[in-house]
Amino acid sequence: MSAVLRAEGLWKSFGDNAVLRGVDVALDAHEVVALIGASGSGKSTLLRCLGLLEPIDDGQIWLGDEDISDPRIDANRVRARFGAVFQSYNLFPHLSVLANVTLASRVVHKRSKQDAEARALELLDRIGLADFAKAHPDRLSGGQQQRAAIVRALATDPEVLLLDEITSALDPELVGEVLELVRQLADDGRTILMATHEMAFARDVADRVVFLDQGVIVEQGTPAEVFGAPREARTRAFLSRFTG
């Protein structure tokens, strides 16, 4: 049981729409897993369920050796062990970049203002945004905002990063700088589960690719296996849309 995050038999419905239909998934330490699948296949729901941002109907989830699907668990404490970044609107618009980045470390992890700010400035400096620390998010480009959102997710040293199509709302010329930061995090040994439509990036950076179709994991393997020699007809049909 070396998995950092593991889920078995996850079921989730919205009304009579069964969105996750018995999903098993696991992430090892330092593993980067790309979650691919058509729009509506359940990628966001899976990420949200894993991060306890959405209640599940059935199944179990372990973070380390703790059963975080146990209803008696303190969900806020568990959520603080994840870092999550979504497609857009990640930063609080009324707070400075620095306040955004330090908020969780101060409120959830009870770090002092001084400690939290020192750590935040170090992280912002690493991505070239230290000069924007006092600025509000609307002064930043979309790519800078997403990089700041990633840094905010990192500020609490999360065990797992959940990234949900973090480049899909960006203008094409801004995608590269965000993917480059994710690549650095992968090189740093972070444990990452990312839903993405960036197939070239997934092929390059992911250790494993998981293909979700209609709430079921149809196929998974290394990028070479899934992109190079997909076994399932549904995977081939999905991928053919990207290769044209």
146 binds, among Mg ion, ligand ADP, none (CB under 5 to 8 A by kind): none
- CA–CA gap between residue 112 and residue 109 (Å, rounded): 9
SS3 180: helix
Closest CA to 220 of 93, 46, 95: 46
Query: Per rule CB under 6 A, is residue 156 in the interface with ligand ADP?
Result: no
The smaller minimum CB distance to Mg ion, of residues 162 and 206, is found at 162
Q: Which is nearer to Mg ion, 32 or 194 (CB)?
A: 194
CB of 43 to ligand ADP, least distance (A): 3
Given candidates 1, 2, 14, 243, which one binds ligand ADP under the rule CB under 6 A? 14
The reply to whether 16 sits near ligand ADP by the rule CB under 6 A is no
Q: Rounded to an integer, what distance in angstroms lies between the CA atom of residue 16 and that of residue 139?
A: 43
> Binding to ligand ADP by residue 40, rule CB under 6 A?
yes
Task: Give 35 or 127: the residue with its C-beta nearer to Mg ion.
Answer: 35
Q: How many helices (H) and strands (E) does the chain have?
A: 9, 10
Instruction: From residue 138, give the alpha-carbon distance in Å to each of 93, 134, 143, 180, 200.
Output: 7, 12, 12, 22, 30
Which range of residues in 2-10, 43-51, 84-92, 224-232 is near ligand ADP by CB under 6 A? 43-51
**Which listed residue (4, 5, 7, 19) binds ligand ADP by CB under 6 A?**
19
User: At 12, which helix (H) or strand (E)?
Assistant: strand 3-14
Distance, in Å, from the CA atom of 179 to the CA atom of 204, rounded to the nearest integer, reads: 11
Alpha carbons 98 and 179: distance in angstroms, whole number: 22
Q: How far is the CB of 38 from ligand ADP (least distance, A)?
A: 7
Considering only residues 5, 36, 44, 148, which one is a binding residue for Mg ion as defined by CB under 5 A? 44
CA distance 90 to 108: 17
Side chain identity at residue 16, one-letter code: D
Listed ranges 21-29, 43-51, 172-180, 226-234: which one lies at the site for Mg ion (CB under 5 A): 43-51
Binding region for Mg ion (CB under 5 A): 43-44
Footprint on this chain of ligand ADP (rule: CB under 6 A): 14, 17, 19, 37, 39-45
